[in-house]
């Protein structure tokens, strides 16, 4: 299945007129159709994290691409071919994606600082940064897969130690390698949404943000037969509007407490040292599928943390532990 992009209603002015002329009202209506969250089960996991009611998507109009005065000289709307209209739309989209793909990973300090600021401003979307700080549990998370060379090796290592992890998958990768997605799920690991194209979401219009999340969700649902309910923005980069779109589509956003920087391949020893120095109860460790050094260090990392008394669990398990702690605190307060 190839994902068909749909976009929310927006006044595109001349561009929409050109598309309507070239493609006909039916296809233009499809392109302008609203995004729905019908594919997401919003009830099965809505009680896992306490937050505000899921908002309705309220997406801003899609910005128009800037053109020079004579860019379309000699092309009248009624002579624009279907191919030309589609290329015009693709050029607008690709300009945003080229910019967004120049992604800068944020440090743990930046991620936690933004979350603190959001809470101080009263923004309490369904976002999790850590689990229960009173339990020696850790969640290993792997971003950017699946990869045919690396994912089977990660699964083999996790299976050897009989532990469960959480995989945040890129939609276009999941579409290429659906058997690897099914293998991850069959082994009992959590499967999460990591957008379709792996772009920095704050750098693209919000209309495209919802597209990216929903596109990946559609692929995962098609492959697994059930919707994903966990979402991680690439690079940990998000804005209130990104969080609102994620929540409206039925997701809990998952960030992290520990980032050893394995994506930069700093060396096995560096990855291990950074992880051991920062790991703490309820922590979420960010790692990446597709990195040789991640594969090489993973057994030592698991053994070292287990020797410190840590249990490895899925993100869903961390959420459940956090709920248990909240209920315990509420009972004590009474």
Which of the residues are catalytic?
143, 288
**Residue 312 has which token pair?**
């490895």
Interatomic CA distance for residues 99 and 143, integer angstroms: 21
> Is-cis flag, bond preceding 160, omega within 30?
no
Interatomic CA distance for residues 242 and 247, integer angstroms: 9
Question: Cα 127 from chain centroid?
Answer: 12
Question: Cα 81 from chain centroid?
Answer: 36
Which residues on neighbouring strands pair with residue 117, listed in sequence order?
A: none
Task: Give the containing element (helix H, strand E) for 142.
Answer: strand 137-145
Interatomic CA distance for residues 265 and 261, integer angstroms: 7
**Residue 119 has which token pair?**
């809470």
CA proximity to 138, closest of 263, 289, 314: 314
Task: Give the containing element (helix H, strand E) for 155.
Answer: helix 151-160
For β-strands 252-254 and 127-128, DSSP reports them as parallel
Interatomic CA distance for residues 262 and 281, integer angstroms: 21
């Amino acid at each position: 299945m190839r994902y068909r992009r749909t976009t929310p209603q927006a006044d595109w002015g001349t561009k929409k007129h050109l598309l309507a002329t070239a493609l006909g009202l039916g296809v233009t209506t499809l392109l302008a159709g609203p995004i729905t969250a019908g594919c997401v089960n919003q009830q099965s996991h809505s009680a896992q994290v306490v937050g505000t009611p899921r908002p309705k998507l309220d997406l801003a109009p899609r910005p128009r691409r800037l053109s020079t005065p004579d860019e379309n000289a000699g092309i009248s709307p009624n002579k624009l071919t279907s191919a030309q209209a589609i290329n015009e739309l693709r050029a607008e989209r690709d300009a945003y994606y080229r910019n967004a793909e120049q992604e800068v990973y944020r440090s743990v300090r930046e991620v936690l600082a933004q979350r603190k600021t959001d809470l101080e401003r009263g923004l309490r979307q369904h976002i999790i940064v850590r689990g229960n700080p009173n339990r020696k549990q850790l969640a290993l998370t792997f971003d950017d897969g699946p990869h045919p060379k690396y994912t089977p090796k990660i699964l083999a290592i996790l299976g050897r130690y009989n532990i469960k992890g959480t995989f945040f998958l890129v939609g276009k990768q999941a579409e290429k390698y659906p058997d690897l997605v099914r293998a991850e799920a069959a082994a009992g690991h959590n499967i999460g949404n990591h957008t379709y194209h792996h772009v920095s979401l704050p750098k693209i219009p919000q209309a495209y943000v919802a597209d990216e999340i929903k596109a990946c969700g559609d692929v995962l649902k098609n492959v697994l037969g059930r919707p994903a309910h966990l979402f991680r923005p690439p690079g940990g980069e998000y804005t209130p509007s990104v969080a609102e779109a994620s929540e409206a589509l039925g997701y809990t956003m998952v960030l992290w407490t520990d980032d050893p920087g394995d994506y930069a391949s700093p060396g096995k020893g560096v990855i291990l040292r950074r992880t051991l120095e920062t790991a703490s109860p309820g922590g979420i460790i960010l790692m990446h599928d597709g990195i040789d050094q991640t594969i090489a260090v993973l057994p030592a990392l698991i053994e070292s943390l287990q020797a410190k008394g840590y249990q490895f669990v899925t993100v869903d398990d961390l959420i459940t532990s956090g709920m248990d702690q909240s209920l315990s605190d509420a009972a004590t307060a009474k």
